[in-house]
Amino acid sequence: MCQLSFNQLALNSALLHNLQSLNYTQMTEIQAQSLPPILAGKDVIAQGKTGSGKTAAFALGLLQKLNVKRFRIQSLILCPTRELADQVSTEIRRLARGIHNIKVLTLCGGVPFGPQIGSLEHGAHIIVGTPGRIQDHLRKQTLNLDNVTTLVLDEADRMLDMGFVDAIEDIIEQTPKSRQTLLFSATFPSQIQNISQHILNEPIFIKVDAMHDNNTISQYFYKISNNEQRMIALRLLLLQYQPTSSVVFCNTKREVQEVADELNNRGFSALALHGDLDQKDRDQALIRFANHSCCILVATDVAARGLDIENLSAVFNYNLAHDQEVHVHRIGRTGRAGSKGMAFSFYSTKDEHRIHLLEDILERNIQAQDLPDASVLERQPLQSLMITLRIEGGKKQKIRPGDIVGALTGDDGISGDEVGKIQISPNWAYVAVQRQCIKKAFSKLSTGLLKGRKYRVMVVRG
Ligand code: ADP
Ligand code: MG
């Protein structure tokens, strides 16, 4: 842990003074690591968990560089939702209190256009906004980014989750190549690695709170005497640990279907994923699982191959994998992104030799654990956090994520924080919303307009 004070940085005295008055004495770790390269004008990718102080890291960087006398848009900060954009604007204004006449403008969807155009005509130094609305202003030519020197992507992982990748790339195209680009994210999925290669210039990579050692996955083994006990063991562990997203691996298609059916009969929400599904059912299952509308996915290894899901809370080996490498690959899907993962494996007497091979690989003894007490079966299965809505229109109808967020969050809509992943295919769009606001979200979407048109909306249930 570094203990560094802001005074050691090349920040102007107005900013330093104000930091003192805000009681920001020590830098947080991500600030201590990212501010020196940011102030040196470098492109930076910084990964750190929520609450690590990322906002001040980029805000101090862009405020230090800002020329207040030059009344042009010099910084653009893209955020996934209006709520987050408002938080960022508030923090920037707080940090900028020592600088007079600085103008920070927030541009987000879900509010009328007119007043935003008016504010833009008055000018601003810093724009904080959501990709959809910024793109709309660019299209209407009410916003000009020719003078941007700092571009920030805040909560980049969440923006990509919400389907904003095309909008972001379009916006970036309209900023000067000479800009400094800063990317902040809590996780670093492959999609971010891909886009960062062409939007950042020789970035410095900073990561705080990495926890990628083997200890992030706890492996438990259970000795099972027959198939009936296998199913009970699965239910017991699901009810005991209540994982928010888990994959149950089976070795055959038939078993996948049987396990999923049985779990659903028992009140769990489980999706089956195997090679016999048609493309649409398969896509829909993956979308629902990835957006947290379903807690359990039962799958064969082959079907799960394309599964790009970060951060499963648990993996179950309903049957041991035939191969030790497959075992390691299966359990490697949990415990990512610094969170603690659990892997539960069931084995029977006939698997003893596989257990010995695993002991060699894991370099430890494997001991059978006791299953939770049978009384755990009385508990209620966990409900998914989110519910998926399907809109019968997609890319072909030019529907974009911003249109959907806008339609959901406008007047008496739901808040941006309640919107989850958005995925748009040629003819459909899927959006996850938090369970408690599904009614409101459904009625907002089905009565509202997307690109000036009404679309049929369905709640997707298992
Ligand atoms: P993140 O974006 O990484 O989730 P934030 O930038 O929202 O985190 O910061 C979390 C909280 O910590 C905010 O309330 C912010 O005001 C506060 N904070 C940030 N940096 C400091 C600091 N150096 N000293 C004290 N408080 C800080
Ligand atoms: Mg933040």
Q: Are 341 and 398 within one domain?
A: no
Q: Tell me which of 28, 44, 183 to substitute to probe ligand 1's pocket, judged by most ligand atoms within 8 Å of the beta carbon.
A: 28
Residue 36 lies in a domain: yes
Single-letter amino acid code for the residue at 315: V
How crowded is residue 86: how many other Cβ atoms within 10 Å of its Cβ? 15
Same-domain status, 147 and 222: no
- Pick the ligand that lies closest to the CA of residue 94: 1
* pLDDT bracket for residue 213 (50, 70, 90): very low
Residue 210 scores a pLDDT above 50 = no
Residue 154 near residue 425, CB atoms below 8 Å: no
The answer to whether residue 444 is domain-embedded is yes
- Residue span of the structural domain in which 13 resides: 6-207
Q: Which pLDDT score, from 0 to 100, does residue 215 have?
A: 53
Least confident interval from 3-12, 34-43, 58-67: 3-12
DSSP 451: T
- Domain tally for the chain? 3
Both 185 and 334 in one domain: the answer is no
- Mean residue pLDDT of the chain comes to 90
446 and 369, same domain (yes or no): no
Stretch 323-338: mean pLDDT: 76
Name the residue with the closest Cα to ligand 1, atom 17. 53
- Ligand 1 centre distance from Cα of residue 104 (Å): 19
Task: Say what the pLDDT of residue 1 is.
Answer: 42
Residue 80 lies inside a defined structural domain of this protein: yes
Residues 6 or more apart in contact with residue 144 via CB below 8 angstroms: 73
CATH assignment at residue 300: 3.40.50.300
Q: Which residue has the tokens 């000067």?
A: 176
Boundary of a domain, candidates 358, 378, 398: 378
Is the domain of 181 the same as that of 228?
no
Lowest mean pLDDT segment, chosen from 41-50, 95-104, 276-285, 315-324: 276-285
Task: Determine the residue type at 148.
Answer: V
Reported as a single tens digit per residue, the pLDDT across 243-261 is 989 999 999 999 999 999 9
Pocket of ligand 1 (CB under 6 A): 24, 27-28, 31, 48, 50-56
395-421: average pLDDT: 91
CATH of the domain at 438: 3.30.70.330
Highest mean pLDDT among 190-199, 212-221, 370-379: 370-379
Flag whether pLDDT at 209 surpasses 80. no
Domain contains 319: yes
Distance CA 427, CA 433 (A): 20
Residue with tokens 């099972």: 224
CA 48 – CA 341 distance, rounded (Å): 19
Q: Which of 186, 207, 228 is the last residue of a domain?
A: 207
Between CA 29 and CA 401 the distance in angstroms is 34
Distance, first Cα to last Cα, the chain? 46
pLDDT digits 0-9 by tens, 429-448: 999 999 999 999 999 999 98
* Residue 40 pLDDT greater than 90, yes or no: yes
In a domain, 1, yes or no: no
Of 153, 172, 207, the last residue of a domain is 207
